[in-house]
């Protein structure tokens, strides 16, 4: 039996995506094993979800460090103590330094609640409604030095209805996030997903500019 792929999850909030990973991936025969959950906030509910699942947790309070570089250096040390093959950002609300991103080149994934490259940053659901878009969704991508940038791995697309509000959109996007993030992690853990020179590769083939696209409805 091949060794499972050790994963460290970074989060700042409720950890809905972490829960989806636990539910879909964290069993003894799966290809991925969540070794630790690390948060910059001691009150993040995601830490409780981790503890309930018997996963190691660490808290690194960013306000206790003098600047981004010092915090990210400490974060690297905390992560590498678990020797993960993959690091996943699951609602980790920190801008990462270039040194951090370079350290995990090709093994750092993020999820974002929009169809990147549209709507980087915050309040994506509100911005989609204000723009009158008919489609919305979420994206998993390899992390590069550009905020919410980096080669796309998988996107789930939902349609925006006239009666939608930011809250209804958020709910449908979250449902899709909880499907596509475990999928991308599974691909990586099985050795099928990699970052090539010109973008993400699945089974050695380029995934293209939007990654693998799933039409959710
Ligand atoms: C998710 O919607 C994720 O896409 C978003 O934070 C939320 C975390 O929810 N991430 C970003 O906006 C990153 N730029 P969760 O704590 O329930 O997983």
pLDDT per residue over 90-129, tens digit each? 999 999 999 999 999 999 999 999 999 999 999 999 999 9
3-state SS of 65-120?
Answer: CCCHHHHHHHHHHHHHCCCCCEEEECCCCCCCCHHHHHHCCCCEEEEECCCCCCCC
Ligand 1 centroid to 195 CA: how many Å?
22
Q: Is the pLDDT of residue 40 over 80?
A: yes
Indicate if the pLDDT at residue 30 is higher than 90: no
What are the pLDDT digits (tens) for 160-174? 999 999 999 999 999
Q: Tell the residue nearest (CA) to atom 16 of ligand 1.
A: 15
| Contact yes or no for 74/97 (Cβ under 8 A) | no
Supply the residue whose CA is at minimum distance from atom 10 of ligand 1.
91
Residue 5 phi, psi dihedral angles, 5° rounding:
-80, 115
Q: Is the CB of 149 under 6 A from ligand 1?
A: no
Q: Is the pLDDT of residue 1 over 70?
A: no
In this prediction, residue 84 has a pLDDT band, given cuts at 50, 70 and 90, of very high
Average pLDDT over residues 17-27: 94
Mean of the pLDDT values across residues 83-93? 97
pTM above 0.85, yes or no: yes
DSSP class of 150: S
Which tokens sit at 88?
A: 């996943």
Q: Is the CB of 200 under 6 A from ligand 1?
A: no
Report residue 134 as tokens. 């008919």
What's the confidence (pLDDT) of residue 28? 76
Is 123 noted as a catalytic residue in this protein?
no
Which atom of ligand 1 is least distant from the CA of 18? 18
pLDDT more than 90, % of the chain: 92
The string of pLDDT tens digits covering residues 196-205 is 999 999 999 9
For 4-15, how does the pLDDT look when each residue is reduced to its tens digit (9 = 90+)? 999 999 999 999
The overall average pLDDT reported for the chain is 96
Output the pLDDT for position 115. Answer: 98
Residue 16 confidence (pLDDT) above 90: yes
Atom 17, ligand 1: residue with shortest CA distance: 16
């Amino acid at each position: 039996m091949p060794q499972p792929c050790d994963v460290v999850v970074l989060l700042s909030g409720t950890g809905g995506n972490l829960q989806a990973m636990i539910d879909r991936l964290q069993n003894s025969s799966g290809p991925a094993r969540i070794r630790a959950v690390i948060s910059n906030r001691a009150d993040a509910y995601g830490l409780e979800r981790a503890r309930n699942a018997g996963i190691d947790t660490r808290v690194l309070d960013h306000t206790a460090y003098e600047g981004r570089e010092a915090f990210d250096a400490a974060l690297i040390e905390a992560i590498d103590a678990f020797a993960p093959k993959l690091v996943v950002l699951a609602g980790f609300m920190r801008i990462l330094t270039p040194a951090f991103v370079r350290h995990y080149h090709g093994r750092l994934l993020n999820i974002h609640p929009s169809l990147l490259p549209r709507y980087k940053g915050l309040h994506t659901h509100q911005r989609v409604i204000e723009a009158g878009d008919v489609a919305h969704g979420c994206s998993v991508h390899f992390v590069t030095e550009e905020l919410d940038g980096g080669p796309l791995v998988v996107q789930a697309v939902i349609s925006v209805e006239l009666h939608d509000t930011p809250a209804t959109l958020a709910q449908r996007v979250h449902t899709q996030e909880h499907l596509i993030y475990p999928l991308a992690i599974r691909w990586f853990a099985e050795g099928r997903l990699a970052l090539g020179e010109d973008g993400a590769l699945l089974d050695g083939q380029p995934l293209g500019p939007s990654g693998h696209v799933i039409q959710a409805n």
